[in-house]
């Protein structure tokens, strides 16, 4: 293998080229944006905010493109140890990584379907630096480091701590104490922060056992992890936990109330970060006026941009304002914006779907002998195909118990023009799903498919009277969603929102204890 790299004026990595035989991978780095040309000439565009990575892939051999969101979970040193993403059969875990004390990386486990983003653990590896594992080298900006030797490959031109004899070894790594220091630039070591470290587990346990506080505890725990992902450090995790707790109570407010609620949460987050409450209040409150981009991720990014800009204008720091507004948006956004609605806004496009290329999946289950479901699925529904081909046992058990004995064959098309996430086509006895309405979530895709398959079942059973009994079929379909939401959506809060929304839809059709 041959690896070539270039650094910018501030000695940060800006270009990397890895050559393995006849295969070449190229990577350009521009701060939070990266462009990667893979060995098969596919192009990946990566947008990074903290530990959240949005990967947009343009395929070389077709006009198709896909988009995935993954999250890099870091340890106290800033090393990526877990990668999560969109759930496949309820499993959000994509990859687990480990490091020895000197930084040599090992892959403990990797999902068999983890293709997009499989190099993220190397691109943001030990202490957040780029790994070249084939050569046992870590690019740390100013210099390269060998984790097997525990030594830099180039001499250090600086003496940072003149009274420490370890600092006079020009090739040593962080005073030969890698568990207490990191080297962000390749030149100057930095001591790890241990503030609140020993007390944090006790704090989270205490919150969880307070009578009646379990829902708040779950929300704050989720905020703790989200804040840690967004900032990569413990302080950010604590900010996330506190803002999530406040956001749970203030999230449903609109208008002036929305401005005030985001302002309060943002001001608190700014104070914990060391900034002024007033700067955080104004920047986060103003971010509520940024409008709706049509996606939760886009709304959070817009809030961060608006909040950072306003913070700068009123004399604060852009970074503090962006983090305060982003966290406020994340935890005070109306919960109904995250639920899948049968009439979801802004998912329909005036665009044709390619339904010529298809994948055929046959579903059976040992508990339902004599029943077989064959799905002929459009390849544009990649999230659904990935979920079913990885592990369809849960879906098979949930849906086959609803079907009659025999062989069933259903065509599943992609249709960007429908305003709903899914639609049962009565005349053709087929199903159409809008890829935009599946939100890149394997569990959501299976729930929407199951909903439409209940309509297929009722049509098969009722025949010509199906049109007159459509409300009854809707009640059956939404009841099925409520029964299985927790099975396919692993996040408890998301599953709860889904069930609440499905219950409302069910009652609107005269069922579910109307």
pLDDT tens figures, 178-212: 988 999 888 888 887 655 444 444 444 444 344 44
Looking up tokens 């890149």 gives 440
Sorted by sequence, the CB contacts under 8 Å of residue 69 that are 6+ apart come out as: 52, 53, 54, 55, 85, 86, 297, 440
C-alpha 53/C-alpha 232 separation (Å) is 13
Instruction: From 277, 292, 285, 332, select the one nearest 310 (Cα to Cα).
Output: 285
Sorted by sequence, the CB contacts under 8 Å of residue 180 that are 6+ apart come out as: 174, 191, 192
Radius of gyration of the chain measured on its C-alpha atoms = 25
Count other C-beta atoms under 10 Å from residue 496's C-beta. Answer: 17
C-alpha 88/C-alpha 386 separation (Å) is 7
The per-residue pLDDT for range 234-266, each reduced to its tens digit, is 555 655 565 555 555 444 444 554 555 555 555
Sorted by sequence, the CB contacts under 8 Å of residue 206 that are 6+ apart come out as: none
pLDDT at res. 38: 85
- What share of the chain has pLDDT > 90, as a percent? 25
pLDDT at res. 212: 43
- Among 275-289, 366-380, 404-418, the range scoring the smallest mean pLDDT is 275-289
C-alpha 188/C-alpha 194 separation (Å) is 19
CA atoms within 13 A on the CB side of 214: 5
pLDDT at res. 342: 41
C-alpha 175/C-alpha 188 separation (Å) is 10
C-alpha 429/C-alpha 449 separation (Å) is 14
Q: Which residues pair with 172 in a beta bridge?
A: 151
Residue with the larger pLDDT of the pair 472 and 278:
472
Average pLDDT, the chain: 76
pTM value > 0.85:
no
- 102, 115 Cβ separation under 8 angstroms: no
| Burial of 389 per CB tally in 10 Å (0-12, 13-18, 19+) | middle
């Amino acid at each position: 293998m041959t690896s070539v790299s270039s650094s910018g004026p501030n000695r940060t990595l800006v270009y990397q080229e890895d050559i393995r035989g006849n295969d070449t991978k190229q990577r350009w780095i521009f701060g939070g944006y990266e462009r990667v040309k893979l060995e098969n000439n596919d192009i990946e565009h990566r947008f990074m905010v903290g530990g959240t990575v949005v990967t947009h892939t343009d395929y070389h051999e077709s006009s198709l493109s896909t988009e995935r969101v993954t999250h890099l979970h870091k340890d106290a040193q800033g090393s990526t140890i877990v990668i999560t993403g969109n759930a496949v059969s309820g499993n959000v875990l994509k990859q687990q990584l480990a490091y020895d004390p000197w930084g040599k990386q090992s892959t403990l486990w990797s999902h068999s379907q983890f293709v997009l983003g499989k190099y993220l653990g190397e691109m943001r590896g030990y202490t957040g630096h780029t790994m070249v594992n084939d050569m046992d080298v870590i690019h740390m900006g100013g210099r390269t480091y060998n984790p097997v030797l525990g030594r830099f490959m180039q001499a250090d031109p600086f003496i940072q701590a003149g009274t420490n004899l370890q600092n006079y070894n020009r090739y040593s790594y962080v005073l030969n104490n890698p568990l207490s220091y990191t080297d962000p630039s390749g030149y100057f070591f930095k001591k790890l922060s241990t503030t609140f470290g020993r007390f944090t587990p006790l704090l989270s346990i205490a919150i969880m056992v307070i009578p009646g506080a379990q829902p708040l505890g779950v929300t704050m725990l989720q905020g703790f992890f989200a804040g840690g992902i967004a900032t990569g450090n413990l302080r950010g995790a604590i900010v996330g936990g506190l803002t999530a707790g406040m956001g749970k109570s203030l999230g449903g407010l609109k208008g002036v109330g929305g401005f005030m609620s985001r302002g309060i949460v943002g001001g608190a987050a700014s104070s914990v970060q060391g900034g002024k409450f007033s700067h955080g209040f104004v920047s986060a409150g103003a971010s509520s006026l940024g409008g709706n981009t049509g996606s939760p991720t886009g709304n959070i990014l817009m809030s961060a941009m608006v909040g950072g800009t306003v913070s700068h204008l009123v004399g604060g720091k852009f970074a503090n304002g962006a983090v305060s507004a982003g966290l406020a948006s994340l935890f005070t956004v109306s919960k109904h914006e995250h639920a899948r609605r049968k009439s979801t806004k802004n998912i329909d496009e005036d665009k044709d779907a390619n339904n010529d290329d298809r994948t055929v999946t046959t579903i059976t289950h040992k508990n339902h002998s004599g029943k077989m479901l064959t799905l002929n699925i459009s390849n544009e529904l990649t999230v659904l195909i990935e979920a079913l081909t990885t592990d369809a046992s849960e879906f098979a058990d949930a849906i086959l118990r609803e079907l009659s004995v025999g062989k069933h064959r259903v065509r599943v098309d992609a249709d960007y023009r429908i305003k709903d996430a899914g639609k049962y086509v009565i005349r053709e006895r087929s199903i159409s799903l809008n890829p935009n309405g599946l939100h890149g979530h394997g569990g959501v895709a299976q729930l929407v498919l199951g909903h439409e398959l209940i309509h297929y079942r009722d049509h098969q059973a009722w025949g010509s009277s199906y049109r007159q009994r459509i409300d009854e079929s809707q009640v059956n379909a939404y009841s099925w969603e409520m029964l299985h939401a927790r099975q396919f959506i692993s996040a408890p809060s998301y599953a709860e929102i889904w069930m609440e929304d499905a219950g409302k839809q069910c009652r609107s059709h005269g069922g579910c204890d109307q």
